[in-house]
Chain A
Amino acid sequence: MPDLGKYAVEVVSAYGASLILLAVLLGMTLRRGRKARAELAQVEADANREAVKKNG
């Protein structure tokens, strides 16, 4: 850890806040992405089942 002098609180909180914000953004992005993948897989499976039922 470098010596941050009298501004330690400022610098660390700036880094902390920014990294937290980035992490939140990244987390929300990944969560939404996973949900979307799962949902699409589900819906497509349903669609295929329907198609099979109808045609075969």
Chain B
Amino acid sequence: MSIWSYANPVKFLALSAKLQPYLWAAAAFCICTGLIWGFFGTPDDFRQGSTVKIIYLHVPSALMAINAWFMMLLTSLIWLVRRHHVSALAAKAAAPVGLVMTLIALITGAIWGQPMWGTWWAWDPRLTSFLILFLFYLGYIALWEAVEDPDTAADLTSVLCLVGSVFAVMSRYAVQFWNQGLHQGTSVPMATGGRTVSDVFFVPLMISMVGFGLLFVALVLYRTGTEIRLRRAQALRSRQEREL
């Protein structure tokens, strides 16, 4: 049986109903463990003090914000090529989740920035590209809302997602160029990447990251189911009216 058979709404609903309890439980477990361990069970950083605890929210949400966009890109492509409705609806369902993740990353980052850099916000390349990502999410959701015909909306938002991704990459380079060009150096501790955090922080961080990932999957499955039901209800209703 090919994986595409799950593009059928009924099969999809059945499978996702089976998976969801485990997903929700696992997500809740990981997030609680990660955050509680992180919040109560890790020492303060010698330089950053207790603010280092923010990392357990900041990094997972930032990661999921980007991954949500990748997932939308993928499902948009699938919709454009194979026209499976579930795929388009999954993209629709993921967007608000991505938006909230972006917002969490931005807010925790901003709160962290105040004690560390002495400012809520700096026009650092990574921060700036996140802001742009936030804008893309907003536009994408607004377009879904604005187009009345559901298939047309799926088409248009998919193309927006593709074109938007290209421009997001371009913006990323533009922003890097722009800020280096000004030699405006807020040195960002996160810019180095890789394992800059020591093991004490690393394990709970990993757990929290896995938790956010599971939460994302569970949310998207649930929300896709909702979208499918709404779509079906709408179709049935127009049906009935036309029968009369």
The residues in A between 1 and 54 inclusive whose CB is less than 8 angstroms from any CB of B are: 2-8, 10-11, 13-15, 17-18, 21-22, 24-26, 28-29, 32-33, 36-37, 39-40, 42-44, 46-47, 50
With A and B bound together, what is the CA distance between A13 and B109 in angstroms? 12
Task: Evaluate contact between B104 and A29: CB separation under 8 angstroms.
Answer: no
- Chain B contact residues, majority secondary structure: helix
Task: Evaluate contact between A17 and B111: CB separation under 8 angstroms.
Answer: yes
Asked if A11 meets B237 with Cβ closer than 8 Å, knowing A17-B107, A25-B100, the reply is no
Task: Evaluate contact between B50 and A21: CB separation under 8 angstroms.
Answer: no
Give the contacting residue for A40; candidates B51, B100, B232; CB below 8 A.
Answer: B232
Task: Evaluate contact between A37 and B229: CB separation under 8 angstroms.
Answer: yes
- Chain A contact residues, majority secondary structure: helix
Task: Evaluate contact between B39 and A10: CB separation under 8 angstroms.
Answer: no
Give the contacting residue for B236; candidates A13, A37, A47; CB below 8 A.
Answer: A47
* B interface, size bucket: 35 or more
Binds A, one of B53-61, B76-84, B139-147, B163-171: B53-61
Task: Evaluate contact between A4 and B50: CB separation under 8 angstroms.
Answer: yes
Task: Evaluate contact between A5 and B44: CB separation under 8 angstroms.
Answer: yes
Closest residue of A by beta carbon distance from B99: A25
With A and B bound together, what is the CA distance between A14 and B223 in angstroms? 26
With A and B bound together, what is the CA distance between A43 and B229 in angstroms? 11
Give the shortest distance, in Å, between A33 (CB) and chain B (any CB).
4
Tell whether B33 is near chain A: CB-to-CB under 8 Å: no
Give the shortest distance, in Å, between B195 (CB) and chain A (any CB).
23
With A and B bound together, what is the CA distance between A13 and B234 in angstroms? 41
Task: Evaluate contact between A10 and B239: CB separation under 8 angstroms.
Answer: no
Asked if A15 meets B57 with Cβ closer than 8 Å, knowing A5-B44, A7-B50, the reply is yes
Give the contacting residue for A10; candidates B112, B229, B237; CB below 8 A.
Answer: B112
Task: Evaluate contact between A10 and B54: CB separation under 8 angstroms.
Answer: yes
Contact with A along B44-80 (1 / 0, CB 8 A): 1000011101100110010000000000000000000
With A and B bound together, what is the CA distance between A34 and B230 in angstroms? 11
Closest residue of A by beta carbon distance from B237: A43
Tell whether B198 is near chain A: CB-to-CB under 8 Å: no
B30 proximity list for chain A (CB < 8 A): none
Tell whether B233 is near chain A: CB-to-CB under 8 Å: yes
Task: Evaluate contact between B115 and A10: CB separation under 8 angstroms.
Answer: yes
The residues in B between 210 and 238 inclusive whose CB is less than 8 angstroms from any CB of A are: 215, 219, 222-223, 225-227, 229-230, 232-233, 236-237
Which A residues are closer than 8 A to B by beta carbons? 2-8, 10-11, 13-15, 17-18, 21-22, 24-26, 28-29, 32-33, 36-37, 39-40, 42-44, 46-47, 50
CB<8 Å pairs between A and B, sample of 16: A2-B50, A5-B50, A8-B50, A10-B111, A10-B112, A11-B53, A11-B54, A14-B54, A17-B107, A22-B215, A24-B100, A29-B223, A43-B233, A43-B237, A46-B240, A47-B236
